[in-house]
Amino acid sequence: MLMIVSPAKKLDFDTESPFEDYDIPKYLDKSKSLVKELKKLSEADIKKLMKVSDAIAKLNKDRFNSFKTPFNTKNAKQAIFAFRGDTYQGLDPDSMNKNEIKYANKHLRILSGLYGVLNPMDLIQPYRLEMGTKFKTDGFKNLHTFWMDTNTKRIEADLKGQKALINLASKEYFSSIDFSKLSKPVITPIFKENKNGILKIISFNAKRARGMMGRFIIENKIKDPQDLKQFNSDNYKFNNKLSSETEFVFTR
């Protein structure tokens, strides 16, 4: 199976990567065209565009100005080890062995506002550019439309030989793919928990659970989507009554 996940705002470029192997992002030319336009923005422009604080606006202005190619292990880091958000806490790539990382690199894709579709071992430089950012460039009204055709074709190509696409990404990111053009079924795991008698999606926990589901797939090399129903990490259990053919609901 093929999985997709979102990137993370929280980054770690201080800790050394546990593996020396790396790849180069496939759509780096498109990334460079975005950065070229982003470099023209002032800190005030970035603050307004991204709806962030002065400090974060300055940080990202500096990041765009520092962006340079070619990428190497001195100025960039493998994506799976650079992202440190909730999903990556659940995925816990630092504890994966070489075979698991190799499997992840073949079966996991990270959707990015700056890089389009990333393999886990693709090098990235520090950035913040969420897919939902309404940044107009090259005649496109936002990043969703900028990446839509590229992302859809890439995911469809990577689905060759796979049984399904497992959507572990947020709506903001999976909306950059036209699922109607994919030849394989798309299954979205949903994680809910009981709060005062009502089942709710708690964002922080759901993100972490999506990462744990990814780890479950990688560790067990799962090929059949039906085997996802055996997932039981962190007290989550498959809920048959709430699930459908395209949405697998797990509750706790």
- In this structure, the number of other CB atoms found within 10 A of the CB of residue 19 comes to 14
Helices 203-220, 98-107: crossing angle, 10 deg rounding: 110
- Quick: pLDDT tens for 145-188: 999 999 999 999 999 999 999 999 999 999 999 999 999 999 99
Of the ranges 58-67, 133-142, 182-191, which one carries the lowest mean pLDDT score?
Answer: 133-142
Mean pLDDT estimate for the chain = 97
Token code pair at residue 56: 């974060």
Give Cα 129 to chain centroid, integer Å: 12
Q: What local confidence, expressed as pLDDT, does residue 72 receive?
A: 96
Per residue in 121-159, is it b (16+ CB within 10 Å) or e — as a string? bbbbbbbbbbbbbebebeeeebbbebbbebbbebbbebb
Q: What local confidence, expressed as pLDDT, does residue 105 receive?
A: 98
Which of the four pLDDT bands, split at 50, 70 and 90, describes residue 101? very high
Q: What local confidence, expressed as pLDDT, does residue 50 receive?
A: 96
Which of the four pLDDT bands, split at 50, 70 and 90, describes residue 41? very high
Q: What local confidence, expressed as pLDDT, does residue 138 receive?
A: 83
Q: Is 248 helix (H, G, I), strand (E, B) or coil?
A: strand
Q: Which residue has the tokens 């990814």?
A: 214
What is the bridge-based pairing of β-strands 2-5 and 108-112? parallel
Which of the four pLDDT bands, split at 50, 70 and 90, describes residue 79? very high
Q: Is the pTM of this model over 0.85?
A: yes
- Quick: pLDDT tens for 204-241: 999 999 999 999 999 999 999 999 999 999 999 999 99
Q: What local confidence, expressed as pLDDT, does residue 48 receive?
A: 96
